[in-house]
Amino acid sequence: MLRYKLVASDFDGTLRHSDGSVSQNTKAALDEFTAAGGIFAMCTGRMASSILPYARELGLQGLAAAYQGGMICDIESGAMLRDLRIPWEDAAEMCRFLEGECGHIHVYDGDVFYANADDGFLAMYERVCRVRGVRTPRAISAVVSKERIAANKLVAMCDAAERDRLFAHCMQAFGERFYVTSSMEQMVEIAPKGADKGCALEFLAAHYGIPLAETMGVGDNYNDLPLIRKAGLGVAIGNAVPALKEAAGFVSATCDEDGVAFAIRKFALGGEE
């Protein structure tokens, strides 16, 4: 009998290796888990159009959570069960604020994202996520206002040395009304309240009728904190940021050492407490 019946895992820096691949060992562990009756769900900050192809390549079924859980989709059909948005007036306000803080902003609207800088950050993002952004003028706030874009999330791209300063400023300006987080050292993200991975896990568990005590959450970065805190067992990958390791119930191997597979076999399939 499975000790943990639902495993929700981050993708980048967690499920897949640092070279972008998902190992055969990890694929085998997922197959073993689902064959035993378990449910494996990817829970990522990526757009749905960026994560669903990977979920299908891995042969996953059921639901996947995108935009930190602000959007939840059926893997096979792409049908949306959840779609949280930032009102366009607030999104425009945030963009005006960010235009004074950094030079590179993304605005996400379903399967489309807008970018106000065509630079190395954007090239890296498009290559990794397999998506292409709509280029806008630097004043991306004007585009949001004109098109009345109710955004799934906003992202400010910055040098790693600037991330903490930018995060603090965004928290001060918007933290009471919205969810401010970071999934990598060059990004600060703003999403609707409730669009976090802990809320996503609650949604998934309720959908499948699985108690939260019988769930496992796995991640590597700050945006995974709500997930591992909400799960019955929170697992930090070995390459996770220190704050996640401190909050986790278990620290697994790194992503390049198949840390997700190790945790699934040790706790979900192995039944260890």
**pLDDT tens-digit readout, 35-49:** 999 999 999 999 999
Average pLDDT, the chain: 96
Query: What is the predicted pLDDT for the residue at 103?
Result: 83
Instruction: Read off the pLDDT of residues 60-87 as tens digits, 9 standing for 90 and up.
Output: 999 999 999 999 999 999 999 999 999 9
Q: What percent of the chain has pLDDT over 70?
A: 99
Q: How far is CA 34 from its chain centroid?
A: 22
pLDDT at 258 over 80: yes
Query: What is the predicted pLDDT for the residue at 271?
Result: 67
Q: Which domain holds residue 202?
A: 6-83+196-269
178 and 97 within one domain: yes
- How many domains does one find in the chain? 2
- Domain of 257, CATH number, reads 3.40.50.1000
Distance CA 109, CA 160 (A): 26
- Domain of 94, CATH number, reads 3.30.1240.10
Query: What is the predicted pLDDT for the residue at 190?
Result: 98
Residue 253 binned pLDDT confidence (cut-offs 50, 70, 90): very high
Query: What is the predicted pLDDT for the residue at 270?
Result: 80
124 and 57 within one domain: no
Question: Could you tell me if 140 and 195 are in contact, meaning their C-beta atoms sit under 8 angstroms apart?
Answer: no
Query: What is the predicted pLDDT for the residue at 63?
Result: 98
Question: Could you tell me if 10 and 30 are in contact, meaning their C-beta atoms sit under 8 angstroms apart?
Answer: no
101 and 236 within one domain: no
Instruction: Read off the pLDDT of residues 104-113 as tens digits, 9 standing for 90 and up.
Output: 999 999 999 9
Cα-flanking dihedrals φ and ψ of residue 41, to 5°? -125, 130
Distance CA 42, CA 62 (A): 10
162 and 138 within one domain: yes
Query: What is the predicted pLDDT for the residue at 1?
Result: 80
